[in-house]
Each structure stands twice: as structure tokens, then as C-alpha cells.
Structure 1
Amino acid sequence: MSAATTCDRTRLRVRVTGAVQGVGFRPYVYRLAVRYGLAGFVINGPEGVTIEVEGDRASDFVATLPLEAPPLARIDHICVRETAALEAKEFSIGTSEAGKLSTQIVADAAACQQCLSELFDPESRHYLYPFISCCHCGPRYTIAERLPYDRRNTVMRAFRLCAACAAEYADPASRRFHAEAIACPACGPRLSHGISAIAAAIAGGQIVAIKGLGGYQLLCDARNQDAVQRLRRRKQRLQKPFAVMVDSIERVSDIAEANAPELALLESVARPIVLLSSCNNLAPAIAPGLSRVGVMLPVAPLHHLIFHALRSAGACVRTGPVIVATSANLCGEPLLIDNAQALRRLKGISDLIVTHDRDIVARADDSVVSVVAGRPRFIRRARGYVPEPIRLAKSVPSVLAVGGALKSTVTITRDNQAFVSQHIGDLDTAEGIRAFEETIRHLTSSLDVEPVAMAHDLHPDMASTRFAEANGRALVAVQHHHAHAAAVIAEHGHAGPALALVLDGHGLGSEGGNWGGELLLCEGAGCQRIGHLAPLQMPGGDRAVREPWRMASAVLHGLGRGDEIGLRFAAQRQAGCVLALLEQPGGATTTSAGRLFDAAAALLGIASLQSYEGEAAMKLEALVRRTAILEAGWTIDGGVLSLRPLFARLIADDIDAVGGAGLFHGTFAAACVDWVARSARTTGVNTVVLSGGCFLNAALADEIPRGCSAAGLTPLVPRRVPPNDGGLSLGQAWIAALQIAQQSSARGGSA
């Protein structure tokens, strides 16, 4: 912040950048200026907020400005300069400036306490109105079409304000001053069904679809086993866990155990789903075979009204109602946001479909977060956090990175910021690809950016790669695991070399092959593979991903015990054929860490098949009571880490599933630390990046960083994006931007 000189009549021009539009920042500035007796104005502009203040206490105003900002505001930079005094008499709020945009929209926020008080106040004109909001809460990103964030640029322009709302909207003293989403029963959006009908359906064991902030959700009674099972059958989601919603923080302890950081996350304005240790006071079908359950608090006023109606009707009076709250889509398809589509496609899933007439521009699933070693860790980053940017170490060229094929996100860089999109989902359906393309259009438009290049995965058959190749821009192909590592490097702003331990499910290697357990040496835009997990056969190719017993069979064959495959996996029809596949030369192999989890789960009798990605690994993790380390349970030769001794122990007759799960996790973590520490001594590089989907595993995510620290290394872990493929696009963008900057510098130097 530049210094201002105090004089008899000082006028200062102040530019504020960051998340300062749509958060009540202008009325805050107005009230602050009035407090200090200043004249001038405040306006939204393409770079953020521009303020001019004139008066004897202008410097006091500038000093106070960052200290009392509204709760949703985030100030990145304040630039101050003196300008000629105009002898102005009053302070005003002006209309927005046009121009090239460098500001941003903020994320959607849960209903604030002031709005909730009005929601249940019979004297309030917003009494029981499900779309109540103000400058401190409500939809933002999901209803905005472009910047500046003014009502005319949102879907709310379709609702003409009544006299009472217009008065609040124009009153700088009101918390609804220029709150673009405000409305009331007289002038705002309306539900297709009443709250009492919704509550009655849930209490009666029915499945209800409602239109939430970022898309449709499916709700049912989380203690009603029959209702949950019907939801599974209709949604074609046989085993994957459902998240549940409770009405208050006090009710969390009825269904789960939560520590202070977890409770703080639950109550944050983002209102994510938080993974907690389950107390099993729910229908068994909520999270089959798992020890944790995803829990969330009400997000929108509609959720609060549903719980209020359930309590009023006497539903679950003793313990309080708990409802399933899951994305309204068929398995593998994107979240529904369109009313007509919802009515057509959810009629076979929902007994009641509740629409409303406020459109959703950008779909946004609920975010999912866990707490590891006392710190939040993203599993899915979406509503409540997007489009909050990630600050980069330096300004870079504008790049669009299109991510991978699963858990898709895209990233756009602008100056020294990276904007990672909300979770899009998998790109294996036409609907998924359309959602992917819609997200790119919306993010590009709302940021007012024209990327100079596109970054994509090396794999040629991904839908995201084909999209990039058909786009006509300069292309940068980035190896999958290099991108995982670079995402962490980018968010931490790390300069210089770093080792990277990437434990993942699958990614195409730089020279072909199926990689997934990699030790890399990264520096700048470059990367060198210096180690990997011992290759393991994949009998049946991609079928082995869905059928963990096949990976277990490969382990048995590698241990010289292939004759046991038919006996151990007699329930699998093709068990008798797999040995012949394993003995054929030239079969598919993988270095994937994820496939090792699958093999261990199948060998211990935990999961021979899986209906969703990571099921076997999650059920294996759920059995860990405490970890143990098998001495000499691994070997490292020429940079290749083998867990052959560990697997030989896991198939012994005297080990059960619980003991085996603890031994597998503890030994694998210790082996990885040993592997990294040896490479650090060889290379002289002591910073270690830890990434890849396997770091969603709580035991590995806790023990490997602690082990690295104990070995004198500096571990860097993902904080702002998930370690899985949800963070891939950030790494792609960072590498591509560095490459383009280097090429530009080289051309300039040669010229």
C-alpha cells in the first residue's frame, strides 16, 4: 500500500482488488466514509472496487478499510494515490464501470444468521420464504452470467423488485444494499410445492428431489433403510456412500464423532460435506462397509424450512431428523440444473420433484472435505469454494487446462491467479461432456479471459484431450503424474527442485505404459522419473480395475502361488482362466499404487469386486484400527519399490482382515518414506511433494508426511485442490504456463 500525504483537504483514489463484489463491500465503504466525515464515491469496476475519499481523515479511512471488511470479502491488494481535491460535499455509491475485467465473483454462501432470524420471525416480510438472502449469504457464482456482479448480469434480472425490496436494495444502511439475489414472496422466485408437502413426503419414506443452490438434490429419511435402499436401486448406486444432513451442529454427535476442526468446517459459510467417524445411528445402507460418513449442515433457507417442518410434524423428535442429501443424477452423469430435464429424468427416481423458477447458470455439487492431521483436505472442491482463485508465485500467460477423464475440473490462469472450476464429474457420457464444455464457456466468460494455449493430458483417447485438439489453440501435453505434482508445487508457490511421490490409480506414462506409483524429480516445467513401484500384471486389462480379485491373482502368481487362485476366488467365474492369462508373455502391467490397495483388499477377503472407483481401497481403510510395520516388508532396488515381502505376509493363514489392513497401511507408508528419503540423499533435494488419489486415504495422508518430516524432509501436501484428478488441471495449467513463458523469453532473447 503506497503512503498518502495528509494535508488540509486530502483526496485519495483507492483501488481494492480481490473478492470485493457481491459481498456488501460498497455499503461497507459508504458507512466507513460517513463515519470519518468524508466526501467522494465508491464504484464497482473491472479491476475490483474504486474509491475516492476527500476530507481531513482520509488516511484514517484507508488504515481502517481492511480491518472491518464484510465476512465474505477478501482483499488482495489496496493501492492508494493522491489526486486533486474537488471540494465534494457528500459520499455516494456510483454505477459500475465497464472495461477489461480482473476482478471475480465470490462463491455461494450458506444462509447467514440474520437471514435465518428473519426466516422464522412471523413479523418479517421474509417469514418462511425459501429464497431469503442478503449481502452476507446466498447464491453468487451459480447465478452470475458475467462481471461486474450486478443484478442485470445475473438470473435475478428476471425478477423485478417490489417497492419494499427496491428500497432495501437502494439503502446503503441496509445489509441488502445491492445484494443482487434479494427477493421476497411478493417479487421473487417460487417453489412448485409447499414445504409441508416436502416434509410429509420425506417423513413418509418417499424420495424427494429439490432444486438446491448449485443443482438438484435427492432427499430421503436417512434412518429409513427401505427408503435408502430404494434410492440406491433407482439411482443405480449400489454401494457408493451417501452424504447426510442434520439440522444443527448440536445434532452431529447423534450420528458421528467430530473434533474441533471438523465442527468448524461444518459451520463455515461454505457448508461442505465433512467426512466424520460414524456412530452407526443411520440406515445400514448409507455407507456400506465404511467407517466414515459424510455429514453436512443446512445450506439454503429451503433446507432449514424442511427441517423445521419435519420437527413441527413430530418426525424423529427424540433424536432429530437426519436426511440423505445426494446429487440428483443417474450414476456417472452430471448434476441436473434444468427444470425440464429434472422433471423428465428424475421421474423414475423421485416420488416428488420440487422445482423453482430461479435459474442456475453454473452447476456446483456439494464440496467434500476431510480433516487430516488437523488440517482440511479436499476430496471434491465445488460449491462454497469455487471460483476462489489460487494465487500463483508469479504472473503467467493465460492458459486453459482441461484436466483428465475422471473427477474432471478445468483451470484458467489470469495474471498471477489460477481459477480451478467446480467438480464437473466423469467425461464418459455425452451429458458429462456437455457439462464440461458449459463449464469452460462460463468460466472463460465470467473471467473475461481469452487463453493463448490449452493444456491437456498425454492420453490421446480422453474426451478432454480431443476437445483441446479440436479447439485450434496452441497445445501443451502434460504427463498425468507430473501434473499431480505440479498442482501442489503451484499452490505452495514452491521455487526450485522438488521430489514428488505420486500415488495414484492410473495415468499414461511419458513413454507409454500404465503408471500410478511414481517418484519424480521436478524443476521448473521439467520432470524426470527416478523411481516407480514394481510393475504388476493386470490380467484382463481394464477389467482388473473393476475386479480387485484379478490384481490379487497377479500377486499370487508373482509369489509363485498361482495354483491358489482358483481356490481363493472360486466365486469368480473366470478364476480358472486367469492363471493362463498371467502365464502368457506380453500382458498388460501397471505400476499403480491404487491396484496394490485393490490386491490387498481382495487377498484379505474384503472386496473382490467394486461398483465404484476406490471402493476396495476405502473398505480396506475402514478396517484400520491401528497401523503396524512389517520389518523388511519391502525392497528398493534401482529406484524400484517392491512390496512383495508384505504381500507374502498378508496371505498367511494367521492374519485376519483387520490385522492385515493395519499392516498393509503401516508398511506401505513406511516403505514410501524410506524410498523418498533414499532419493533425497541421492539427489540432495529435501522438498517432497505428496499427491495422487491414494492420498485421500487418511492413514497414508497422515503417516507419510509425518515420516518425511521425521526424516528431515519438507513435505508439501495439497490444501487448495484435491490430491486426486480434481487437482490435475491446476498442475497442467502451471506447467503449460511455465513452458509458454520460457518459449516467449527465448524468442525475445534471440531477437
Structure 2
Amino acid sequence: MPIAPTETTRRQRKRLTIQGTVQGVGFRPHIYRLATELQLSGWVSNCSEGVHIEVEGPQKKIQSFTRRLLNERPAHSQINSVQSTPQPLSSSSPFEIRSSSHSGEKSALILPDIATCPECLAEILDPQNRRYLYPFTNCTHCGPRFSIINELPYDRPNTTMREFELCEDCRREYENPLDRRFHAQPTACPNCGPMLSFVSSSLSHTEQNQEPLTLAVKTLQAGKILALKGLGGFQLLVDARDAQAVARLRKRKHRSEKPFATLFPSLNSARAHCEISDEEAKLLTSSQAPIVLLRKVQDTLEGVAPGNPELGVMLPYTPLHHLIMTSLDFPVVATSGNLSEEPICITNEEALHRLKDIADAFLLHDRPIARPVDDSVARVIHGLPQVLRRARGYAPLPIELRRPCNPLLAVGGHLKNTVAIAKHNQVFLSQHIGNLETEESYRVFKNATQDLPRLYELSPAAFICDKHPDYHSTQFAEQSGIPVESVQHHLAHVYSCMAENKLEPDVCGLSWDGTGYGTDGTIWGGECFAISKEAARRIATLRPFPLLGGDLAAKAPRRAALGLLFSAGKNHEWKHLNYAPSELRILHQAIEKQLNTALTSSLGRLFDAISALLGFQQVSTYEGQAAMKLEWLARNSETSDSYQFRLNDPENDKLPAIIDWAPAIHEVLADINNRESKEAIARKFHNALANLAAHLANRLGTKQVVLTGGCFQNRLLSELTVRKLEESGFTPYWHQKVPPNDGGIALGQIAATQYSKLTT
């Protein structure tokens, strides 16, 4: 009599579809090793959705396989969903890795570019290894991804590595499921992969193989400027210790005062110049390897970040950077390979043309870059990382929405532009594109609006844009021929933070920003919203004041101060602004007659005005300079005193309450005239804003409070506000994965459509 099969011996076959970050991370070898260890038959294959697995064997072993699949996944992988369906039993042939399937919906996640892993770093520094000093060494744990992929699935023929045929040794590694380079699509070696070349500024001298690296190092040692073709584009490098060389780079790049990022050879070398907490060290050495804003302990790198107590620091993140920095053993400026406000160069020809008047020499290579991917920028706020510029290491990983939405394309704003697509319940954000003020930037923007939908085979049902009619992104959307929806700028900020934190109404949204087009035609920026399931209401706003010259005032903070004093009836205090009497009379008349003058409720411009009244940044040379100066001053004071904002109730329920800054400005001016320290004045202003946030939250009574907008890049303001809200019994939420500045607008534009009543 036959014995009935037990739970242990009963065979079954299952088909698993895994979605998430499962391509280019060693996921299939992991599955192969796991199935082989458990003596299961079947196969695994990449597909446009992610990974397909069919596995057959005893039921208990398949249960173990499924459990370990989730618990023992590769370090850079991320599993978003697992779909399991029973299959008829098949043959018991050994488990195998099959060729990729190109059928099905394209929804696999594209991995960002990943910093060099310890194993690859050890190989390029080992004279006995065949990849010794090879600058394009990588494996499934590290290397280029987003910067080289042309289409899904992520296979070598679908990347810019398709023209490099693998040599016999690399082929053997590539086809061995037990090797960490199994199907590592960018893998290569000196015999078959990309190579360096060196070109002098005269464009007449070239070198091949290892010699270009030596020449590049000598260029930097001589204090000259090197244009380096990196992972996602060109960088400009120069000895950070050489003040004259740094000044030369500033002059050629047209970047007079804006801080440069600094590349250090190691974490220990960076510690000699900056305070680095455990969380900051973790961020610096992470696989994302962003530029991290750190507090200086000494300012010996003259000219790199003038007048700035912080330094943007990064560590080597590609083999090429490691090899250069190992040879130099001193910090170098590493800034984007462009003129200010232009996108970075990505092709050799483009760099040789656009950077010829900046760089003294070029270190090039022949691996094509599919799209420009700049360095990301981050800092630690309230003990947690916050991304300020989202690009290399982060893009294009998605943000998951709480609910699916229609296929959409969001075109973002005008400054710090990113674009985004929505597919099901995921929003894929592009890399940082930048300010859409030049023809080159607008070209990159248009390419990005085609690139993301093409990668995911998405046909947008609608474009989502900002309400500002003059934004290039808005005009692009309106000229697309596709239905367009618009979202008010500061609401998009709130929705962006809500989406990132997976919040549902009710929410109190503090959107404190530089500028954004308001629905009443004025310039908003100091807004408080009540987000309910029924509506989004602007319940409070900063008292508007005249902004002479409109957007021009962002570059001339004393213009903001001038309008503030005029509105406050403090004309006699204009002495603080260093205007000539004749110029002051003309500007006074322009404000009175409202000539080229806009009204603004912008908190960013209020920061500018206070900074100008204190004698700083009468004219700014880069965005946010005046506000940053005020933050730096405030950090040097421990006072708990505060200025006062007065909240004036609206005339009717349809109007927002007015946050009157006049009492605070009167107190600021009194302190200035009484020679109170500038540090204390700046700190009192920050304290006042934190108190204001708690007061607004208490007025609304909603426990969830969202902090968003460019002003919350200010670490001190953010930490004071979070602390004050928590002490007052509220739960504050702020940005971590997506920038609080306009780099997060595209996400918010899409998230707004999940609240269909709230988009206008």
C-alpha cells in the first residue's frame, strides 16, 4: 500500500514574481545559490517587471526558500512585492539562471550609481590582481547603473557598455553564478574595457593607458585645473590648499563666492578639517556617497567656502577617484564640470568645447554616459540624513504613494528642477537638473521629460505643472498637447512632504520658502495650510510687503529690507542699507507708485531683509547666501529670548490670518540701535519662527505638522522648530529622501492629484 506524502515530502512548484530593486545587485546569483543549497529545481530570470522565479521541490523546502529569499537578500536590493502562483510539476533538472525576458510591463527598479565596494577597492590597490590600478573596476555590489542604462531590463546590451566585448577572463566571471561579477553589466578589465586618455589645454597632447592617470595627478600637483570625466559627467578639480588656484577656478567658472565641494582622500583626512558625527560619517561612507555639509573646525582651505562655517565634503566614490586621491593624499576642490547655472558636460566633445576656457587639462575616458547625473548633496538634521540635491546615489529610486494613481508626468518648477513620473503607486524622480535659465539646462530638462517615460514605457495621461505662467516648465507642459493640471507651488511642497512620509489628512502644512506664484497673483512663501480630506485651506500667511524689482530682489537682499521698512513705516532706518541718498529717493518713489514692485509673503525674503539690516549681503552672489549668513550668526548665540509675531484674525473665514512681522521688526531695529550682538539678534529671529510654528499648529489643533520649503534647509531653524513642536505635543514631519527645496516639487505635483479636490 503506497504511503501518502507528508508535508515534508510533498512536492510543489511555484512561480514567484519579485518587484523592487532586484536587477544589477546580485539578486539572481543569490537565488541560484539559495535554490542549489536547498536542492530545488527550476530557474530564475530578469524580466521587465523585476525577476521571475520558478522553483520546485518539497513543500517545506520551498517555504524555507521563500522565507530566506526575503531575509537574506543582497545588500543593495529592495523587495517591494512578491507574487506567488502555483504551477504544474515539471522536470527535476538542476536549478538554472535563464536569459532575460523582455516581455511584460516595464516596472523593475533601476538602481542608482553605487560607490566602490571594499572588494573592488582592494583589487585596484593590489599589484598581484589583474585589475590593479584599473579605474573602471566594478561588480554587482558597486559601479555605474543609472548613468549607463538605456532601457530595461538591465542587461549589458541595454547599457552604454554594449560596445565593450568581454575578454575570456571577464566572460568566465560574468557567466559564473558563484562569482560576484556574475552578470555585473558594467564589468570590464584593462584587456576589454574602457580606457583613459589625457588631453592638455592646447588639445594637442594625448596619452593612453596608465600614463593619463599619472599626467592628471601631475596636473593637480602643479596647481592647475583638471576636467575629469567621472561617473555621471565632468568635474573640475584643483588643489584645495592652493588659494590662487582656487581663485583662478572661481574666475574662470564665473562663481565668485558660492562654496565649492571638497574631495578628501579619506574620512580621517576630512576629520582634520571638519566636525564629523557618527551619522555624518555613516552618510559620507555610504553607498550613496553624497557631498555632506559639515561644520569646519579650521579654515585652512582658503577660498573654498569663503565666509562659510561649513564645508561640503565628499570621499572618493569611483575607482578613478580612489586612484587619484591615493596618489595625491591632499584635498581637492571637486565641482560640477560646467559654467555656473549650466548643466554638467557628459561627452568628451562637449567638455573639450564648453570647458576649454576653464580647464588646463582633461582626463577623459571612452565609456559613454547615458544622462547627466550630478553629485548629490545632503546634511544631517535632527540626527537624520536630509537630501538637499538628489542625484547620484539616489535617483531614480521611487517614492511609494499610499494609493495607485494615473500615469502622470510632473515637470517640477523653475529652480532646482527635477521631473517625475507616476506609475501605479510609485513616483520615479529624475536626477537633479537645475535652474531652467539657460538653453543648455532647458535641453537637459526636455530630454529628462522623454527619458523617464521611455525607460518605463509610460504614456502620461496628463502633465502636472506649477501655476506660474512664466516658468519654462509650465510653458513646456502647456505646449505638449496633453491635458495639463496645475498645482500651487507651496501646496506642492506640502504634498511632497506628505507623500514622502506617507501621511493622510488631517495635516498642518508649514510651507516656508523663497518665492512661488500665489493664486492671488502675489509672490507667496510664508504659508500655513490646513489639509483635510475635503479641502486644502491657506489658513495663515506672512503679512505681504513690497518687493522692489520682483525676482531681482532675491539677488539684492537690501531691496527686500527696503520694502519691509517702507511697509513698517520705518523709513528713517534706511541708514542701515548703504544706499546713496539719490538712489534711495528713486527707489522710494518706485515703491510708493508700485513701479516694478510686487507684493510678497515670502519668509525667504524676510530672512534676506533681516540679514541686510544687520549689514550682511546687501547684494547676494548666490541663492540663499543672505539667509545662510543669518543662520551661521544664530548658531553662535545660546539666547532663548525671542521676537514676537502677531497673528491677526481674518475679516472672514475665506481669508487667511495674517502673520504680522511688524512687532518683530521693531524689536530687531531696537536691538540694532542698542548695539545688541548680531549673533543674539539672529538667534532671537530663529527662536521667534520656531515659536510661530508651534503657535500656528496649536491654532489649527492638528497633531501632524509638515515642515517644507527651502527655508527648512536651514538646520538650526529645522531643529528648533522640530523641538518646539514636540515639546508642544505635536508630531513634526520633515524631508529626508526628497529635498525640501524645489527639487521636491515634482513629487508634490503628482501627490496632489491623489487629493483631486485640492489641486487648484
5 Å-filtered alignment, 1:78-157, equals: 78-99=82-103, 100-157=105-162
Structure 1 counterpart of 2:229, which letter? K
Aligned to 2:628: 618
Aligned to 2:424: 415
Aligned to 1:55: 57
Structure 1 counterpart of 2:613, which letter? L
Q: Aligned pair in 2 of structure 1 residues 524, 213: CA closer, same or farther (>3 Å)? A: farther
Residue deviations 1:718-739 (CA, integer Å, cap 9, x gap)? 1221111000000101113543
Aligned to 1:664: 685
Deviation at 1:650, TM superposition (A): 2.2
Match of 2:167 among 145, 148, 162: 162
Question: Are positions 1:209 and 2:217 aligned together?
Answer: no
Q: Aligned pair in 2 of structure 1 residues 742, 287: CA closer, same or farther (>3 Å)? A: closer
CA distance in 1, matches of 2:694, 2:294: 27
TM-score with structure 1 setting the length:
0.94
CA distance in 1, matches of 2:565, 2:463: 44
TM-score with structure 2 setting the length:
0.93
Deviation at 1:671, TM superposition (A): 2.1
Contact residue 257 and residue 305 of structure 2 kept, 8 A:
yes
CA distance in 2, matches of 1:162, 1:51: 30
Q: Aligned pair in 2 of structure 1 residues 674, 627: CA closer, same or farther (>3 Å)? A: farther
Aligned to 1:315: none
Deviation at 1:239, TM superposition (A): 0.9
Deviation at 1:60, TM superposition (A): 1.5
Question: Are positions 1:560 and 2:569 aligned together?
Answer: yes
Structure 1 counterpart of 2:569, which letter? G
Contact residue 504 and residue 694 of structure 1 kept, 8 A:
yes
Question: Are positions 1:77 and 2:98 aligned together?
Answer: no
CA distance in 1, matches of 2:11, 2:48: 29
CA distance in 2, matches of 1:181, 1:741: 45
Match of 2:12 among 10, 13, 17: 10
Match of 2:197 among 192, 195, 199: 192
CA distance in 2, matches of 1:628, 1:521: 32
CA distance in 1, matches of 2:322, 2:498: 40
Aligned to 1:748: none
5 Å-filtered alignment, 1:489-508, equals: 489-508=498-517
Contact residue 689 and residue 721 of structure 2 kept, 8 A:
no
Aligned to 2:253: 235
CA distance in 2, matches of 1:700, 1:170: 53
CA distance in 2, matches of 1:5, 1:527: 56
5 Å-filtered alignment, 1:374-393, equals: 374-393=383-402
CA distance in 2, matches of 1:60, 1:254: 49
CA distance in 2, matches of 1:572, 1:256: 44
Aligned to 1:746: none
Deviation at 1:284, TM superposition (A): 2.3
Unaligned runs of at least 5 residues, structure 2: 1-5, 199-211, 650-656
Residue deviations 1:331-359 (CA, integer Å, cap 9, x gap)? 11111112111001111001111111111
Contact residue 400 and residue 413 of structure 1 kept, 8 A:
yes
Q: Aligned pair in 2 of structure 1 residues 550, 367: CA closer, same or farther (>3 Å)? A: same
Structure 2 counterpart of 1:605, which letter? G
CA distance in 1, matches of 2:249, 2:640: 41
Aligned to 2:404: 395
Structure 2 counterpart of 1:611, which letter? T
Question: Are positions 1:676 and 2:693 aligned together?
Answer: no
Aligned to 2:270: 252
Corresponding residue SS for 1:542: helix
Structure 1 counterpart of 2:15, which letter? R
CA distance in 2, matches of 1:426, 1:365: 13
CA distance in 2, matches of 1:107, 1:136: 12
CA distance in 2, matches of 1:734, 1:550: 35
RMSD: 1.9
5 Å-filtered alignment, 1:215-230, equals: 215-230=233-248
Contact residue 226 and residue 363 of structure 2 kept, 8 A:
yes
Corresponding residue SS for 2:753: helix
Aligned to 1:288: 306
Residue deviations 1:220-250 (CA, integer Å, cap 9, x gap)? 1111111111111100011111110111122
Identity %: 41
Deviation at 1:28, TM superposition (A): 1.1
Contact residue 628 and residue 667 of structure 1 kept, 8 A:
no
Match of 2:592 among 583, 591, 598: 583
Q: Aligned pair in 2 of structure 1 residues 334, 521: CA closer, same or farther (>3 Å)? A: same
Structure 2 counterpart of 1:98, which letter? H
Residue deviations 1:581-636 (CA, integer Å, cap 9, x gap)? 23335742100000011001110112111011101111111122135454562211
Contact residue 217 and residue 328 of structure 1 kept, 8 A:
yes
CA distance in 2, matches of 1:430, 1:737: 33
Q: Aligned pair in 2 of structure 1 residues 156, 573: CA closer, same or farther (>3 Å)? A: farther
CA distance in 1, matches of 2:583, 2:575: 9
Aligned to 1:530: 539
Contact residue 642 and residue 684 of structure 2 kept, 8 A:
no
Contact residue 243 and residue 296 of structure 1 kept, 8 A:
yes
Corresponding residue SS for 2:131: coil
Aligned to 1:689: 706
Corresponding residue SS for 1:81: strand
Aligned to 1:32: 34
Aligned to 1:318: none
Residue deviations 1:160-215 (CA, integer Å, cap 9, x gap)? 11111111111111111100000111111011131111111111111111011111
Deviation at 1:378, TM superposition (A): 1.3
CA distance in 1, matches of 2:586, 2:241: 43
CA distance in 2, matches of 1:122, 1:571: 68
Structure 1 counterpart of 2:572, which letter? D
Corresponding residue SS for 1:282: coil
Structure 2 counterpart of 1:497, which letter? D
Q: Aligned pair in 2 of structure 1 residues 504, 45: CA closer, same or farther (>3 Å)? A: same
Question: Are positions 1:736 and 2:738 aligned together?
Answer: no
Aligned to 1:724: 741
Contact residue 252 and residue 358 of structure 2 kept, 8 A:
yes
Aligned to 1:703: 720
Match of 1:466 among 475, 478, 481: 475
Deviation at 1:576, TM superposition (A): 4.0
Deviation at 1:740, TM superposition (A): 9.8
Q: Aligned pair in 2 of structure 1 residues 282, 365: CA closer, same or farther (>3 Å)? A: farther
Aligned to 2:363: 354
Contact residue 558 and residue 577 of structure 2 kept, 8 A:
no
- For this pair of structures, how many residues does the alignment match? 727
CA distance in 2, matches of 1:44, 1:347: 43
CA distance in 1, matches of 2:123, 2:534: 53
Q: Aligned pair in 2 of structure 1 residues 492, 567: CA closer, same or farther (>3 Å)? A: closer
Question: Are positions 1:600 and 2:610 aligned together?
Answer: yes
Corresponding residue SS for 1:158: coil
Q: Aligned pair in 2 of structure 1 residues 54, 371: CA closer, same or farther (>3 Å)? A: same
Aligned to 1:340: 349
CA distance in 2, matches of 1:525, 1:263: 44
Aligned to 1:637: 648
Deviation at 1:513, TM superposition (A): 0.9
CA distance in 2, matches of 1:297, 1:437: 32
Residue deviations 1:622-656 (CA, integer Å, cap 9, x gap)? 12213545456221112211222222232232123
Q: Aligned pair in 2 of structure 1 residues 632, 20: CA closer, same or farther (>3 Å)? A: closer
Unaligned runs of at least 5 residues, structure 1: 312-320, 744-751
Question: Are positions 1:541 and 2:550 aligned together?
Answer: yes
Corresponding residue SS for 2:18: strand
CA distance in 2, matches of 1:525, 1:602: 42
Structure 1 counterpart of 2:606, which letter? L
Aligned to 1:175: 180
CA distance in 2, matches of 1:270, 1:411: 20
Deviation at 1:157, TM superposition (A): 0.3
